[in-house]
Amino acid sequence: MLRALRIALVQLAVGSDKKKNIAEAVKQIHMAKQQGAQLVALPECFNSPYGTKYFNDYAEEVPGGETSLALLRAAAEAGVCVVGGTLPERCGDRLYNTCTVWDGCGKLLAQHRKMHLFDIDIPGKITFKESEALSPGDQFTTFDYEGVKIGIGICYDLRFSEMSHVLASKGCSMLIYPAAFNMTTGPKHWELLARARANDHQLYVALVSPARDTEASYVAWGHSTLVDPWGEVVGKLDENSGVLVCDIDLNKVEEVRNQIPIRSQRRTDLYDTITK
């Protein structure tokens, strides 16, 4: 079993030109491979600006659309696992915010539809209602890559500790969240939530954001981050486009879990935990 994994978190500059967004993602996948990455993760909504008014125009079928095709080819040509950020997925008359995962042969390993839609209202700061355009997913998503079980959540999913609990219960050593927090919630909650989820479940947590574009209608916080099973930040980008390349040490997951054995000390005789 693989005990170490080199991952690259790609903080892409995303604009309104879909083909350019996809081409940049493909370029970054190849560049990450040159830096030794075995797994490359892209941000939420990497082929489209993030906003309910854009989703219908940029939506594609999965796996048939041009974005899926580009990702599967890039994964196969580079021979890396690609966690393909998210794209607006069209399925019948519904749209979803969907992450696709491709193995190093270009096979679709997993598909996660954002489970918790981002509907918030902070007067004078930010109001966003993803449910105006999107439907929620209803499946937990994990996949195995080289003997490592990895769970996927998307952005707002990060706020729900029950969801990460279920993913951890399924045996995950790492959770990857393509995400795009904003200038209100990012500074307050981005790192806090990543560290909380990592510490709660003693696993690695990776958050992958688009780069900040102050001209966009939704301004992303950036700061793609990797946190280890101790809850410590291993690496973090600033707001600009860039790539964070880090080594995941899977021995650390076992080490922390053995040293602080909270997983076997839960008082489930006194409280319920959701594991369905």
Contacts of ligand LQR7VSFR in 184-213 (CB under 6 A): 185, 189
Q: Considering the complex, what minimum distance in angstroms separates the CB of residue 37 from ligand LQR7VSFR?
A: 25
Q: Token pair of 87, please?
A: 């794209």
Helices in the chain by DSSP H: which ranges? 18-34, 52-58, 66-78, 161-169, 185-201, 250-259
182 forms part of the interface with ligand LQR7VSFR (CB under 6 A): yes
Contacts of 32 (CB under 8 A, 6+ apart): 8, 10, 40, 78, 80, 243, 245
Closer by beta carbon to ligand LQR7VSFR, 62 or else 219: 219
Q: Considering the complex, what minimum distance in angstroms separates the CB of residue 103 from ligand LQR7VSFR?
A: 27
- From the list 45, 99, 155, 172, the catalytic residue is 155
- From the list 18, 33, 114, 252, the catalytic residue is 114
The question of whether 44 is a catalytic residue gets the answer: yes
The question of whether 114 is a catalytic residue gets the answer: yes
Preceding amide of 63 cis, omega within 30 = yes
Interface segment toward ligand LQR7VSFR; rule CB under 6 A; list 11-19, 79-87, 102-110, 176-184:
176-184
Contacts of 120 (CB under 8 A, 6+ apart): 126, 127, 128, 185
| DSSP string for residues in 209-255 | -PPP-TTSSS-B----EEE-TTS-EEEE--SSSEEEEEEEEHHHHHH
181 forms part of the interface with ligand LQR7VSFR (CB under 6 A): yes
CA distance 127 to 124: 8
Contacts of 214 (CB under 8 A, 6+ apart): none
Closer by beta carbon to ligand LQR7VSFR, 134 or else 256: 134
The question of whether 155 is a catalytic residue gets the answer: yes
Q: Considering the complex, what minimum distance in angstroms separates the CB of residue 85 from ligand LQR7VSFR?
A: 13
For ligand LQR7VSFR, how many residues bind (rule: CB under 6 A)?
9
Single out the residue of 22, 34, 192 nearest to residue 8, CA to CA. Answer: 34
| Sole binder of ligand LQR7VSFR in the list 58, 118, 177, 204 (CB under 6 A) | 118
Contacts of ligand LQR7VSFR in 128-157 (CB under 6 A): 155-156
Phi, psi of 146 (to 5 degrees): 50, 40
180 forms part of the interface with ligand LQR7VSFR (CB under 6 A): yes
Residues within the interface to ligand LQR7VSFR (CB under 6 A): 118, 155-156, 159, 180-182, 185, 189
Catalytic residues: 44, 114, 155
